[in-house]
Amino acid sequence: MAGRGYGRGAAVLSAGIGATGLITYGYFSLASHSLSAADYGEITLLWSAVFVTTSVLYRPVEQLLSRTIADREARGQTGREHLRVAATIQLALGAAFAVAALALRAPIEDDLFEGSSTLYWVLIVTVLAYAVSYFARGFLAGSRRYGLYGALVLIEASSRVLFALAVALGIGSGQSLVALGMAAAPIVSLAVVPLALRQLSRHRARADVPIGPAPGDDAAPGDEVAPTTEAEFTLSHGTGFAVAILAIMVAEQTFLNAGPLLVKATEGSSGAALAGFTFNVLLIARAPLQLFQAVQTSILPHLTRLGARGETDPFRRSVNVTLAAIAGFALAVALVMLAAGPTLMSIVFGGELEYDRLGLVLVAFGMGFYLAAATLNQALLARGRAQLACAAWLAAAAAFVAFLLLPGFDGRVLQVEVGYAGAALLLSASLYALYRRA
């Protein structure tokens, strides 16, 4: 029954997040066709800067809440101190970002955004808005409110694409309007938060009932657990887990964004345009990650509950089925890229540069290895092996960057493609070895 609950949760999220991925793809497609190569390149750099920052700073708290709420529910523990701890960490991280960004305004605005104050302030507002968004995601995932989670990310993507659509239709114009969509998206999506807060208030009014699945969500018969005495959850407990996840997020964003950023930094005057081209290539890996969020979001609390209850066989089956599905998906994408990859990429993004067929296939296989690694990572987090997983991520990310810095490679974009696939293979193999040992 728990397995079916996980399946229903992943299915609900897949609908919302799958649509989100397509809409996000549309945002960049519209922007690519509406802006010059240089302006579009700066939009991709803004996107990379925003999501490097938000993923590194805020996803640790999302994962902390998701795992902790699931674990406490499975053990029948009551209390709300874990929410206070997570909120304290999130507020501290948001404040640290604001202070650092204001202090570094000159290099961010002048060196990264070519003197654009609009892009700088979009970065500030967007990152701060995501602090609340990621806290809400963690609460919704841990308590299995997948419908609200899917609604949040879908509203976010839909509101963002409207700005690019306005430019494409001639209602507005310019890079600034496309960029403003990034700032508006997380703010508009917070319309979901009052619903979550009202649900939380109802649980607070019933202090003897642990936070659990909302009526109508994927709860399975037998999931209810009688409450036990309140278990202490201190700031040191939460911080230790969050620090390990923060390091994993740094490594994850290195995989996703080091390529375009290093191309921009090393290619001189043509760097922005080539960075945009590299970003388009890596969307083959990035876009499926949008869909995989459905699995990643639901599998951590699911595996945590199984681990807390000592259900080893269902734990293994959940991981194995997910890995098999990823392998099939990656093979299908690779075959599509082999048959028509360059043509499809040219149709979607346009531009004068030609896409290399072999490179696109390599990125497709790299995407499969990366998604497998992300699944194994969630299994290790559910087992409380965050520090070991962190070490594997940091080693693979360091190897990826070292490869990108090697001189004499025939083509910078191909170097990124080969490096991404090789580093993803190294990461998945390392995490699989740790998973087998655990």
Confidence (pLDDT) at 268: 59
Residues 420-438, mean pLDDT to the nearest whole number:
93
pLDDT band for 309, please (50, 70, 90 cuts). confident
Q: Do 160 and 90 meet the contact criterion of CB atoms below 8 Å apart?
A: no
- Is residue 110 pLDDT above 90, yes or no? no
Q: Residue 286 CA to chain centroid, in angstroms?
A: 9
pLDDT, tens digit (0-9, with 9 covering 90-100), for 230-262: 455 667 667 878 889 889 988 988 888 788 877
Reported as half-sphere exposure (CB side, CA atoms, 13 A), residue 310 has a value of: 1
To the nearest whole percent, how much of the chain has pLDDT over 70? 82
Residues 157-180, mean pLDDT to the nearest whole number:
85
pLDDT band for 97, please (50, 70, 90 cuts). very high
Confidence (pLDDT) at 14: 64
Residues 365-382, mean pLDDT to the nearest whole number:
92
Q: Any residues with CB less than 8 A from the CB of 9 and at least 6 apart, and which?
A: 144, 146, 217, 218, 298, 302
Query: Which DSSP category does 35 fall into?
Result: S
Q: Any residues with CB less than 8 A from the CB of 76 and at least 6 apart, and which?
A: 210, 225, 226, 227, 228
Confidence (pLDDT) at 220: 47
| 94 token code pair | 């948001």
| 428 token code pair | 């998945």
pLDDT band for 74, please (50, 70, 90 cuts). confident
- Is residue 214 pLDDT above 60, yes or no? no
- Is residue 226 pLDDT above 50, yes or no? no
Average pLDDT along the chain: 81
Confidence (pLDDT) at 206: 58
pLDDT, tens digit (0-9, with 9 covering 90-100), for 197-213: 676 666 556 544 444 45
Residues 34-46, mean pLDDT to the nearest whole number:
81
- Report the C-alpha gap between 419 and 81 in whole angstroms: 43
Whether pTM > 0.85 for this model: the answer is no
- Is residue 71 pLDDT above 50, yes or no? yes
Q: Do 253 and 55 meet the contact criterion of CB atoms below 8 Å apart?
A: yes
- Is residue 43 pLDDT above 90, yes or no? no
- Is residue 61 pLDDT above 60, yes or no? yes
- Is residue 425 pLDDT above 90, yes or no? yes
Looking at residue 335, its amino acid is L
Q: Do 294 and 18 meet the contact criterion of CB atoms below 8 Å apart?
A: yes
pLDDT, tens digit (0-9, with 9 covering 90-100), for 319-346: 998 899 889 989 999 999 899 888 888 8
The domain locations on the chain are 2-212+233-437
- Report the C-alpha gap between 433 and 436 in whole angstroms: 5
Confidence (pLDDT) at 353: 67
- Report the C-alpha gap between 388 and 187 in whole angstroms: 35
To the nearest whole percent, how much of the chain has pLDDT over 90? 20
- Is residue 352 pLDDT above 70, yes or no? no
- Is residue 216 pLDDT above 70, yes or no? no
pLDDT band for 193, please (50, 70, 90 cuts). confident
Q: Do 259 and 404 meet the contact criterion of CB atoms below 8 Å apart?
A: yes
